[in-house]
Each structure stands twice: as structure tokens, then as C-alpha cells.
């Protein structure tokens, strides 16, 4: 029972982090930075990577 609850929490947190990173990537400062450097900032990438890891772990725990 605890694994299922933890997997649901990780899936929700992961989706939230990815959505938050997406929202940050649309900001004016992020668009300006991307136009100069050609890549997203570290903060945005950490949101995307953290969200992907949370979703992967949540899916792994849901399968067990």
C-alpha cells in the first residue's frame, strides 16, 4: 500500500516539475537567455530532469 501511495506522489511531483519547467521556459528572461546561448538555463533543465526522474521512479514503483 505504501509503495502505491509513494508512486502516485512521485508521478504527481514529476508532472508538476515538468510543467513548472515548461512555464519557466516561456518567460521573457528565459527566451532572451536561450536566444543568446542557444540552450535553456540550468534551472529549467533541473526541473525537466528532476521531473523525468520522479516519473521514472514512480512508474517503476507502480509496476512492482
Helices (H) and strands (E) in the chain, counts: 3, 0
pTM: 0.84
Which cell is 57 given?
521512479
| pLDDT value of residue 62 | 93
pLDDT in tens, 4-53: 999 999 999 999 999 999 998 888 888 888 888 888 788 999 999 999 99
| pLDDT value of residue 46 | 95
| pLDDT value of residue 55 | 98
- What domain count does the chain have? 1
For 16-45, give one letter per residue: b (16+ CB within 10 A) or e.
ebbeebeebbeeeebeeeeeeeeebbeebe
Structural domain containing residue 9: 2-63
Amino acid at each position: 500500500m505504501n509503495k502505491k501511495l509513494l508512486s502516485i506522489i512521485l508521478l504527481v511531483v514529476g508532472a508538476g516539475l515538468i510543467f513548472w519547467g515548461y512555464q519557466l521556459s516561456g518567460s521573457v528572461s528565459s527566451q532572451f537567455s536561450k536566444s543568446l546561448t542557444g540552450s535553456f538555463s540550468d534551472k529549467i533543465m533541473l526541473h525537466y530532469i528532476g521531473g523525468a526522474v520522479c516519473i521514472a521512479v514512480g512508474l517503476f514503483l507502480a509496476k512492482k
